[in-house]
């Protein structure tokens, strides 16, 4: 296993932007790109390679599944993306079929990597990847609500006029319409949001803050309406998860993780704050939730379980 080598399957908007971001990260010395449209992977590898002399040395090439044998991390971003008016869950049948043609090829050559799923609907497809791969559940991760949480921090920081890195808050649950914001523990560097609004003279108080959740939830729809796809922020979210894995950071990130006997939820992959390190998901955390948040998380998990039950995997 080469800890400095990763594979990316799917070189569309998300996969190629992720490859570009990771190529500049210094985390890897070798990256293999795979796409059903091999020429697309070749073109992306050429384009990114032509810029690497401006950064750390990294070899990037278009390959096939045999090239994944020694990868420590394999990112899956292949499949259909949302069109205007589609929800993430609308993509399920198409992308499960695509995953059935991808995941067995990975496990045929590599049983020790960490698999990081980005394709939507990401929580359901992380479950599908776990089932199809036979990997330990801790080594199958989805990008979860890491992006949604970044959107929440950005928009809340913008509203309050403070550095978004000082906002501590999570979006959890499905990466999709049933996700929720955990406002009960949200804070600005230790100061609860309500107290911060009062102290800083934000007249709208918590009512205005609550409306930020709708903006977060609808972000992808708003971007897709204007430019057909979202890819920059998700690529940076994938980079953040990748850093936690490669550097064995034990970072708390709301990735899609296997949840069983937490929050009264069983047997589902869902976006939940988890400790992430070189072995993948090391621990799922039980963070304090208000009654309404706990109910919303349970309902989100039930939505995902209802879909998983119908799948032929």
**Which strands make up the sheet holding 251-253, listed edge to edge?**
251-253, 274-277, 280-284
Residue 149 makes contact with ligand NAD by CB under 6 A: no
Residue 80 CB, nearest approach to ligand NAD (Å): 6
Residue 45 makes contact with ligand NAD by CB under 6 A: no
Residue 242 makes contact with ligand NAD by CB under 6 A: no
Q: How many angstroms separate the Cα of 32 from the Cα of each of 1, 46, 118? A: 14, 12, 17
Instruction: List CB contacts of 95: < 8 A, sequence separation 6 or more.
Output: 79, 80, 119, 120, 121, 125
Q: Which residues pair with 71 in a beta bridge?
A: 2
Contacting range for ligand NAD; rule: CB under 6 A; set: 32-40, 165-173, 284-292, 293-301: 32-40
Contacting range for ligand NAD; rule: CB under 6 A; set: 112-120, 262-270, 292-300, 305-313: 112-120
Nearer CB in complex with ligand NAD: 114/160: 114
Residue 126 makes contact with ligand NAD by CB under 6 A: no
Contacting range for ligand NAD; rule: CB under 6 A; set: 107-115, 128-136, 180-188, 228-236: 228-236
Q: Of the residues 38, 50, 175, 250, which is catalytic? A: 175
Contacting range for ligand NAD; rule: CB under 6 A; set: 33-41, 50-58, 291-299, 300-308: 33-41
Q: 228-259: buried (b, 16+ CB within 10 Å) or exposed (e) per residue? A: eebbebbbbbbbbbbbbbbeeeebebbbbbbb
Residue 35 makes contact with ligand NAD by CB under 6 A: yes
User: Which listed residue (153, 175, 217, 262) binds ligand NAD by CB under 6 A?
Assistant: 175
**Residue 175 annotated to the active site:** yes
Residue 276 makes contact with ligand NAD by CB under 6 A: no
- List, as one string, the DSSP characters of 17-75: HHHHHHHTTTS-SEEEEE-SSHHHHHHHHHHHHTTGGGSS--EEEE--GGGGTTEEEEE
Q: Is 115 helix (H, G, I), strand (E, B) or coil?
A: strand
Residue 12 makes contact with ligand NAD by CB under 6 A: yes
Backbone angles phi, psi at 259, to 5 degrees: -115, 125
Q: Are 119 and 141 in contact (CB under 8 A)?
A: no
- The catalytic residues are 175
Contact residues: ligand NAD, CB under 6 A: 9-15, 35-37, 40, 77-82, 91, 98, 101-102, 118-120, 122, 143, 147, 175, 229-231, 234
């Amino acid at each position: 296993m080469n800890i400095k080598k990763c594979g990316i399957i799917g070189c569309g908007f998300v996969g190629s932007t992720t490859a570009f971001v990771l190529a500049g990260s210094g985390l890897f010395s070798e990256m293999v790109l795979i796409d059903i449209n091999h020429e697309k992977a070749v073109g992306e590898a050429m384009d990114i390679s032509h810029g690497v002399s401006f950064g750390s040395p990294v070899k990037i090439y278009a390959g096939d599944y045999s090239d994944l044998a020694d990868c420590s991390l394999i990112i899956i971003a292949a499949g259909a993306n949302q069109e205007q008016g589609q929800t993430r869950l609308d993509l399920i049948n198409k992308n499960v079929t695509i995953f059935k043609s991808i995941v067995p090829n990975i496990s045929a050559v590599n049983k020790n990597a960490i698999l990081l799923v980005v394709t939507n609907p990401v929580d359901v497809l992380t479950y599908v990847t776990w089932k199809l791969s036979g990997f330990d559940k801790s080594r199958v991760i989805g990008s979860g609500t890491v992006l949604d949480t970044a959107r929440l921090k950005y928009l809340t920081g913008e509203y309050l006029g403070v550095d978004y890195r000082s906002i501590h808050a999570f979006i959890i649950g499905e990466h999709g319409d049933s996700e929720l914001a955990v406002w009960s523990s949200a804070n600005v560097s230790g100061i609860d949001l309500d107290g911060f609004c009062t102290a800083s003279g934000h007249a709208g108080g918590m009512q205005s803050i609550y409306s930020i959740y709708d903006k977060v939830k609808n972000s992808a729809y708003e971007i897709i309406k204007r430019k057909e796809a979202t890819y920059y922020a998700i690529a940076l979210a994938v980079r953040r998860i990748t850093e936690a894995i490669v550097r064995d950071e034990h970072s708390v990130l709301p990735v899609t993780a296997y949840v069983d006997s937490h929050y009264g939820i069983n047997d589902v992959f869902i976006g939940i704050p988890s400790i992430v390190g070189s072995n993948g998901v090391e621990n799922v955390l039980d963070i304090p939730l208000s009654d309404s948040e706990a109910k919303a998380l349970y309902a989100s998990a039930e939505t995902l379980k209802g879909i998983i039950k119908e799948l032929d995997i």
